[in-house]
Structure 1
Amino acid sequence: MGTVRNILQAKGHGVFSVEPAVTVYDAIELMSQKNIGGLIITDQRSEKLLGIFTERDYARRLILKGKSSKDTAIGEIMTENPITVSPDDSIESCMKLMTNRRIRHLPVCDGGKLTGMISIGDVVRFIIDEQRAIIEDLEQYITGHHQ
């Protein structure tokens, strides 16, 4: 099975991030424009990873608590100190981590530096593509069409 590095090579290392002072409304607007389910919260000066904000945070920490998205800073409701993975972590370990902890997004850090983010969708896509390639190889081997 592959590693997080394989996913990032295919999808890229781009990460959408905002500072903690940004309003929840502006963060949700950015997520909608980029069609993403999570944002990284960073200190722009130090580029330090402060937290993560997801659609789940929005529903549970803002809506259910009766707060206003236009008056609340994202830093107030983000998940602090999110679980991270490294580029060398296996896809299998990420899948187990995401399933056991019930999370859908994992920031990727390499030597303490944020280098990307993967989602459960990225993991599932990778596994499906990998299994498809294995099946094709096996079919070619069985039918004698291998090199």
Structure 2
Amino acid sequence: MGKVRNILQAKGHAVYAIHPDDTVYEALKVLIDKNVGALVVLDNEEKFLGMFSERDYARKVILKGRASKETLIREIMTERPITVTEDDSIEECMVKMTDKRIRHLPVTDDNNRLIGLISIGDVVKYIIDDQKYVITSLECYINGTHL
């Protein structure tokens, strides 16, 4: 099974970020504009502070009757989210995502600096592509042909 680094090599290390003093409304506009389900929260020094997701919005704003134009990200973001490193296996990511019921994993380096973000969609795509490769390789082996 592959590693997180394999996913980041394919999709890149770019992440969409917001500042903790941005409003939830501003963050929602970014989610929609970028067609993503979560954003990382970075301070002015680019320090990784947490995550903001559609789930945070639903559970901590809408269901609590708060106003998205008045609520700041710092008030509702997920602080200290579960993270992974580039050396973690795809299988380990699946276990974390399933056990904790999360859809996004920030990727950090040894100094806890953010270097990427992977989603459950990235993980599933990697697994499907890997399985297709194995199947094709086995078919070639059985048929006596080469890839």
Asked whether the two chains share a fold, i.e. TM above 0.5, the reply is yes
Render the CA deviation track for 1:46-84: whole Å, top value 9, x for unaligned: x22111011001000000000000000011010011111
1:146, CA displacement in angstroms? 2.5
Residue of structure 1 equivalent to 2:146: 146
**AA matched with 1:94:** C
* 2:136 counterpart of 1:136: yes
Distance, in Å, in 2 between the alignment partners of 1:145 and 1:17 is: 47
May I ask how many residue pairs the two structures share in their alignment?
A: 146
Residue of structure 2 equivalent to 1:81: 80
Distance, in Å, in 1 between the alignment partners of 2:42 and 2:26 is: 15
Residue of structure 2 equivalent to 1:94: 93
**AA matched with 1:8:** L
Residue of structure 1 equivalent to 2:41: 41
Render the CA deviation track for 1:93-140: whole Å, top value 9, x for unaligned: 000000000000000001221100000000000000000000000001
Residue of structure 1 equivalent to 2:102: 103
**AA matched with 1:40:** V
Distance, in Å, in 2 between the alignment partners of 1:142 and 1:75 is: 57
Distance, in Å, in 1 between the alignment partners of 2:48 and 2:81 is: 9
TM-score, normalized by length of structure 2?
0.97
Distance, in Å, in 2 between the alignment partners of 1:146 and 1:32 is: 45
TM-score, normalized by length of structure 1?
0.97
In structure 1, runs of 5+ residues without a counterpart are: none
Distance, in Å, in 2 between the alignment partners of 1:74 and 1:43 is: 11
Distance, in Å, in 2 between the alignment partners of 1:113 and 1:129 is: 29
Secondary structure of 1:87's match?
Answer: coil
Residue of structure 2 equivalent to 1:122: 122
Residue of structure 2 equivalent to 1:57: 56
Coordinate RMSD, CA, aligned: 0.8
Identity %: 60
**AA matched with 2:104:** H
Residue of structure 2 equivalent to 1:18: 18
